[in-house]
Amino acid sequence: MSNESRKSAGFKDRTPVTTARETLLDAVSPHERTERVPLRDADERVVAGEITAERAVPHYRRAAMDGFAVRAEDTFGASQRSPASLRVGETVTTETAARVHTGSELPDGADAVVMVEETEVAGDSVTVFDAVAGGENVAPIGEDVAEGQTLYEDGHRLRPSDLGLLKSVGNDAVEVYEQPTVSVIPTGEELVQDDPEPGQVIETNGQTVTQYVERWGGTATYRDIVTDDVDALRAAISDDLDHDIVVTTGGSSVGERDLLPEVVSGIGEVLIHGVALKPGHPVALGVVEETPILMLPGYPVACIVNAVQFLRPALRRAGHLPTADPPTTEAELTRKIASEPGTRTYARVELHDEGADEQTTATPTRASGSGVLSSVALADGWVVVPESVEGYDAGDTVTVEDWEWSQ
């Protein structure tokens, strides 16, 4: 479709959200770049390849209790009424015990530990009031982790507990996938970074998207504002095709200054233009030289909705990052939410705990207005109204998604 026919046709046919997302993800290939990073910098990074234990934990037999290391057979038959008496020494031999503490190495000759509560020391002898079996109160080599044991498979996202385990088996660094790279290009001749004059607008979309990329596990390059000019937009996109994903903000609709679909079509392919979601249906998805291009709408709320629905899953696929559903809260709706049939609506709401039973309620912050940034910045989440539902009534129980989650 030519630029003129596209502008005149508008968005009569909009692609369902699920279809559009699948189309974009089909164009995203997980990169294979890896790097070795110190454990202190590896939290939430994704393991590249299998990790096995370089050494056992523990790597020596150790006492699991404070007490006395003994030969178990020297305590057989010991009881409160008929205790055993052993010598106290530095080593363990026949009828000789050695004092040990929790975690200390078990002396040669010993095969068990008598808990200190079951002993009584007098001079250089110890009285044992309870018999122990071989191996009792002893942590054997590899009880926690065996040498050579597989700890993590390719694709595992590391947690602080994982990093502690890796350090315990002798690692000081780990091989992980590099974070996926995203170029963020804000567009629009009306945009400025500060001190706006009448008719000018502070650039926020690019900054917001950049920070979401960082939160979602990527590395963002936040570019300077590009004006509404075909040559300038083409150059900006072409210069950043070495990134895993290129994201633009603004200029994705069908107005005279909405040039990005035309630009991408000229140097690549526009896969989707117009998605059945609200706010933010003028989103466009494309590919240039195998690099996915995500053209986000210029209205702030529409930009955020589309970033969560499309950029987040694309970024996570590119970087081998696992996907997860957002945390949700069940709440009672205080006012009606209307929705157009065939369109998936994301209605911003505030959550409150009310009444003696602290019933959680959800109050819409604004029914419309995709340019009102405060309606999303001051919200606690959004209610997703599916395409098959014509809204929800006051009093309905709804599910509120927290789109700000970082997993």
Residue ranges covered by each domain of the chain: 3-33+179-319, 35-57+159-177, 62-139, 328-401
CATH class of domain segment(s) 3-33+179-319: alpha beta
pLDDT digits (tens, 9 = 90+) for 87-133: 999 999 999 999 999 999 999 999 999 999 999 999 999 999 999 99
Output the average pLDDT for the chain.
92
CA distance 398 to 394: 10
Average pLDDT over residues 40-53: 96
The CA distance from 236 to 221, in Å, is 12
Q: Is 216 helix (H, G, I), strand (E, B) or coil?
A: coil
Question: What confidence score (pLDDT) does residue 1 get?
Answer: 43
> What Å distances lie between residue 351 and 216, 354, 380, 399, 403, CA to CA?
24, 10, 6, 11, 14
Length of the chain, in residues: 407
Other beta carbons within 10 angstroms of residue 141's beta carbon come to 15
Handedness of CA 78, 81, 85, 91 (dihedral sign): positive
> Per-residue pLDDT averaged across 291-295, rounded?
98
Choose the weakest-confidence range: 2-16, 225-239, 251-265, 372-386.
2-16
Q: Name residues whose C-beta falls within 8 Å of residue 264's C-beta, 6 or more positions apart in sequence.
A: 237, 270, 284, 286, 288, 293, 295
Per-position DSSP letters for 145-173, written without gaps between them: B-TT-EEE-TTPBP-HHHHHHHHHTT-SE
Q: Above 90 in pLDDT, residue 254?
A: no
Residue 326: count of CB within 10 angstroms of its CB: 16
Give backbone dihedrals phi and psi of 26, rounded to 5 degrees, phi first: -65, -25
Distance CA 311, CA 332 (A): 30
What number does CATH give the domain 62-139?
A: 2.170.190.11
Query: How many Cα atoms occupy the beta-carbon half-sphere of 355 within 13 Å?
Result: 6
Q: Is 224 helix (H, G, I), strand (E, B) or coil?
A: coil
Q: Is residue 325 within 8 Å of residue 402, measured between CB atoms?
A: no
In this prediction, residue 237 carries a pLDDT of 98
- Residue 247 to residue 392: CA distance in whole angstroms: 33
pLDDT at 8 over 50: no
Q: Is the peptide bond before 186 cis (omega within 30 degrees of 0)?
A: no
Between CA 35 and CA 11 the distance in angstroms is: 44
Tokens describing residue 112: 């068990």
**313 sits in which H/E element:** helix 312-318
Query: Which of 70-79, 187-196, 296-305, 347-356 has the weakest average pLDDT?
Result: 347-356
pLDDT given at position 368: 55
Record: fold of 328-401: Beta-clip (2.40.340)
Percent of the chain with pLDDT over 90: 86
**CA dist 68 → 77, 101, 126, 283, 391 (Å):** 17, 8, 9, 72, 72
CA distance 382 to 376: 9
> What is the token pair recorded at 179?
């974070």
- Percentage of the chain beyond pLDDT 70 is 94
pLDDT in tens, 339-388: 999 999 999 999 998 766 778 999 998 655 555 666 677 889 999 999 99
- Closest among 179, 218, 163 to 38, alpha carbons compared: 163
Q: What is the pLDDT of residue 404?
A: 83
